[in-house]
C-alpha cells in the first residue's frame, strides 16, 4: 500500500517533444493548453520494503495512466505511454517516506554523504529530475514537493543481537545519465557518463549506529558497442581511437574523484577473443591517461580464476568494478568484497567476537547480494543474474537474454529515453 500521501507522475506528450514531468506528491498540475495532450500517471500500489535509518523504503509496483480530459477509463493507446507504464511498474522504482516528518525522503544519497550534512540529493540517481527542470522554465519552484525517486534495488533483512534489532541492507542506485538496455547502450559518452553505472551500498543499522561501504560498477569507459544480431559470442566494435576517447575517459574518472575520492579499477574482462581486445584497449588508455599513477588498474579473469572453486569514519575511496556487461561477474566480485568488508563493519559495531551473530549477518548479506544481482540484471537484460552454479539454469537465462536482447530491448530502450527525455 502507499503511504498517507499519494505519489504521482505527470507525463506530457506534445507534438514536438515527449517528456516525463516527474513524480509529485498528490499534486495535479494544470498545464493543458494548446497542443498539449497530458496523462496523469498515478502510482496505484507501492509495497513496503523495510525501514532504513531515517525513512521507510517503498517499491512502486503498479501505475495507472489517466488522461487529464476525456474518459478517465479510456486506456492509453500510444505504445510509448504503455511502455512507460510497464517500465514504472517493473518493481525497480523506489522512494522513501518518513512518518515522523510526514514527508517524502530523498534516498539518492549514500548514508556517508547524508551524515556529512549534505542536504541535496545526488542528481545522478534521480529518475524524475525532468519535472523540476521543466517547471523551472515557468518560474515554479518544485523543490519542496517533488518526490525524489530512484531506480535500483533495496534489500532489507533483520537480524537480532540479543533483544535488539539490526538491519542488514543492500542499496543499489542506477544512474540515469546513460541508461539503456544491454546491447543498445555500451561504453562512455562525450560527457564521461558510462552505461549501467550503479552505486551499491552495504549498510548495517544497529543501536543508532550506521556502518556503510560503497562500491560502484560501470561499463568500460571507451566508445564501443556490439552491433548486429546478438547470438552467442557477440562481436565487439571499438568506435573511436584511444586518442579520440581520452577526453571522455578522463572526464569519467574526474567525476569519480569528485564523488568518491580515490578509486581502484577491478577489470574482470576475459583474456580470450573480443573481451581481451577490449581489455587491452582499456589498459592502454588508462596508461596514457592522467590517472595512471593515482588509480590502480587490476585485471582479474574471474572465469579463469574461479574454475573449481560510535566512531565516525568516512570511506576515502571506492572500487570500480566492471566485466563486459557489469552484471554476473561484477556482482560476484562485489559480493566477495562486501562479505570481506562485513567483518570490519561488525568489528566497528563491537559484534565481531559473537560468532553466531557474524554467521547470521553473512547469511543475510549473501541473500541480499544474490537478490541485488538479479534485480540489477532485470533492467539491463530482462532476466535474473547467472550464478554459475547450474549450467542448465544459466543456459536458460542465456537463451532468454538472447531473445530479450533481439526482440524486446528496443521498446524498453524507447521507454527509458522517453522517461529521461534523451
355-411 pLDDT per residue, tens = 999 999 999 999 999 999 999 988 777 665 555 454 444 444 444 444 344 445 667
| Confidence tier at 284 by pLDDT (50, 70, 90) | very high
147-165, pLDDT tens digit by residue? Answer: 778 999 999 999 999 899 9
Q: Across 43-57, 127-141, 221-235, 291-305, which has the greatest mean pLDDT?
A: 43-57
Please calculate the CA angle 55-56-58 and round it to the nearest 5 degrees: 135
Residues forming beta bridges with residue 10, ordered by sequence position: 22, 40
* Beta strand residue intervals within 27-129, DSSP E: 37-51, 56-67, 93-98, 103-105
Banded model confidence at residue 118, pLDDT cuts 50, 70, 90: low
CA 53, 198, 251, 127 dihedral sign is: negative
> What confidence tier does 229 reach under pLDDT thresholds 50, 70, 90?
low
Distances (CA, A) of 117 to 168, 239, 406: 23, 42, 46
pLDDT of the residue at 401: 42
Of residues 402 and 137, more confidently modeled:
137
DSSP assignment, residue 190?
T
So where are the chain's domains?
1-148, 156-422
321 alpha carbon, distance to own chain's centre: 14
- Do the beta carbons of residue 42 and residue 8 sit within 8 Å? yes
CA dihedral (407, 408, 413, 419) positive or negative = positive
Q: Output the pTM of the full model.
A: 0.85
Residues in CB range of 342: below 8 A, 6 or more apart? 202, 361, 362, 365
Q: Which residues contact 78 (CB under 8 A, 6 or more apart)?
A: 13
Average pLDDT (72-80) is 76
CA distance readout (Å), 339 to 335, 359, 368 = 6, 11, 11
Q: What is the mean pLDDT of residues 99-112?
A: 87
C-alpha cell belonging to residue 158: 533483520
Q: What is the DSSP track for 304-346? A: HHTTT--------EEEEEE-SSSSHHHHHHHHHHHHHHHHHHH
d(CA 273, CA 13): 45
Which of residues 114 and 347 earns the better pLDDT score? Answer: 347
pLDDT digits (tens, 9 = 90+) for 17-73: 333 334 433 323 223 222 355 666 777 788 999 999 889 999 998 887 777 677 777
- Show the cell assigned to 269: 574482462
- Predicted pLDDT at 91: 92
Beta-strand pair 317-322/209-217: parallel
Mean pLDDT, the chain, integer: 80
Mean local confidence (pLDDT), 169-179: 96
Task: Residue 26: count other Cβ atoms within 10 Å of its Cβ.
Answer: 12
H or E element that contains 264: strand 262-267
The 3 state secondary structure assigned to 239-255 is CCCHHHHHHHHHHHHHH
Please give the pLDDT value at position 68. 65
pLDDT value, residue 105: 86
Give strand ranges (E) for 118-163: 150-161
Long-range CB pairs of 383-391 (<8 Å, 24+ gap) are 385/327, 385/328, 385/331, 386/327, 386/328, 387/328, 388/306, 388/328, 388/332
Residue-level pLDDT at 306: 47
Among 169, 20, 192, which residue's Cα sits nearest to residue 96?
169
Split at pLDDT 50, 70, 90, the class of 235 is confident
Segment of 59-63, 80-84, 132-136 carrying the highest mean pLDDT: 59-63
- The shares of helix, strand and coil residues in the chain, as percent rounded to the nearest 5, are 35, 25, 40
CA distances from 197 to 3, 59, 77, 103, 114 (A): 30, 20, 33, 29, 21
DSSP secondary structure of 194-262:
BTT-EEEEEEEEETTEEEEEEEEE---SSSEE--S---SSPPPEE-S-HHHHHHHHHHHHHHHHHHHSE
Distance between CA atoms of 265 and 318, rounded to whole angstroms? Answer: 9
Residue pointed to by grid coordinates 505511454:
81
Q: Tell me, what's the pLDDT at 129?
A: 77
Residue 335: what pLDDT?
96
- The pLDDT value given to residue 44: 79
pLDDT confidence tier of residue 273, bands split at 50, 70 and 90: confident
Task: Judge whether residue 75 has pLDDT over 60.
Answer: yes
Picking from 20-34, 100-114, 232-246, 309-323, which range would have the lowest pLDDT averaged per residue?
A: 20-34
Amino acid at each position: 500500500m502507499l503511504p498517507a500521501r499519494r505519489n504521482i507522475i505527470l507525463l506530457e506528450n506534445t507534438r514536438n517533444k515527449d517528456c516525463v514531468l516527474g513524480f509529485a506528491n498528490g499534486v495535479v498540475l494544470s498545464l493543458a493548453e494548446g497542443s498539449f495532450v497530458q496523462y496523469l500517471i498515478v502510482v496505484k500500489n507501492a509495497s513496503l520494503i523495510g525501514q532504513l535509518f531515517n525513512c521507510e523504503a517503498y517499491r512502486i509496483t503498479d501505475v495507472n495512466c489517466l488522461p487529464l480530459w476525456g474518459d478517465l477509463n479510456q486506456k492509453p493507446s500510444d505504445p510509448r505511454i504503455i511502455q512507460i507504464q510497464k517500465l514504472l511498474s517493473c518493481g525497480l522504482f523506489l522512494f522513501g517516506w518518513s512518518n515522523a516528518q510526514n514527508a517524502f525522503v530523498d534516498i539518492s544519497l549514500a548514508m556517508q554523504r547524508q551524515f556529512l550534512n549534505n542536504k541535496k540529493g545526488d542528481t545522478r540517481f534521480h529518475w524524475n529530475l525532468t519535472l523540476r527542470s521543466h517547471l523551472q522554465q515557468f518560474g515554479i519552484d518544485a523543490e519542496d514537493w517533488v518526490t525524489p525517486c530512484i531506480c535500483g534495488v533495496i534489500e532489507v533483512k533483520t537480524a537480532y543481537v540479543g533483544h535488539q534489532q539490526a538491519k542488514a541492507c543492500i542499496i543499489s542506485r542506477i544512474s540515469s545519465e546513460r541508461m539503456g538496455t544491454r546491447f543498445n547502450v555500451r561504453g562512455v559518452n562525450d560527457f564521461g557518463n558510462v552505461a549501467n553505472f550503479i552505486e551499491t551500498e552495504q549498510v548495517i543499522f544497529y543501536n543508532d549506529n550506521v556502518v556503510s561501504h560503497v562500491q560502484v560498477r560501470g561499463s568500460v569507459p571507451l566508445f564501443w558497442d556490439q552491433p548486429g544480431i546478438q547470438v552467442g559470442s557477440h562481436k565487439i566494435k571499438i568506435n573511436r581511437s584511444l586518442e579520440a576517447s581520452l577526453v571522455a575517459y578522463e572526464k569519467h574518472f574526474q567525476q569519480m574523484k569528485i564523488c568518491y575520492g580515490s578509486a581502484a579499477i577491478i577489470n574482470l574482462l576475459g583474456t580470450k577473443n573480443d573481451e581481451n581486445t577490449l581489455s587491452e584497449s582499456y589498459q592502454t588508455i588508462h596508461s596514457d591517461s592522467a590517472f595512471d599513477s593515482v588509480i590502480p588498474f587490476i585485471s582479474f579473469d574471474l572465469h579463469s580464476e574461479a574454475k573449481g572453486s560510535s566512531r565516525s569514519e568516512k570511506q576515502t575511496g571506492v572500487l570500480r568494478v566492471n566485466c563486459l556487461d557489469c552484471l554476473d561477474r561484477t556482482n560476484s566480485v562485489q559480493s566477495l568484497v562486501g562479505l570481506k568488508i562485513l567483518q570490519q563493519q561488525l568489528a566497528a559495531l563491537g559484534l565481531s567476537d559473537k560468532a553466531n551473530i557474524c554467521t547470521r549477518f553473512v547469511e543475510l548479506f549473501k541473500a541480499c547480494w544474490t537478490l541485488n544481482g538479479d534485480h540489477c540484471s532485470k533492467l539491463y537484460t530482462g532476466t535474473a543474474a547467472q550464478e554459475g552454479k547450474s549450467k542448465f539454469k544459466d543456459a536458460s537465462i542465456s537463451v532468454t537474454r538472447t531473445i530479450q536482447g533481439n526482440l524486446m530491448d528496443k521498446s524498453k530502450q524507447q521507454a527509458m529515453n522517453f522517461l529521461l527525455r534523451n
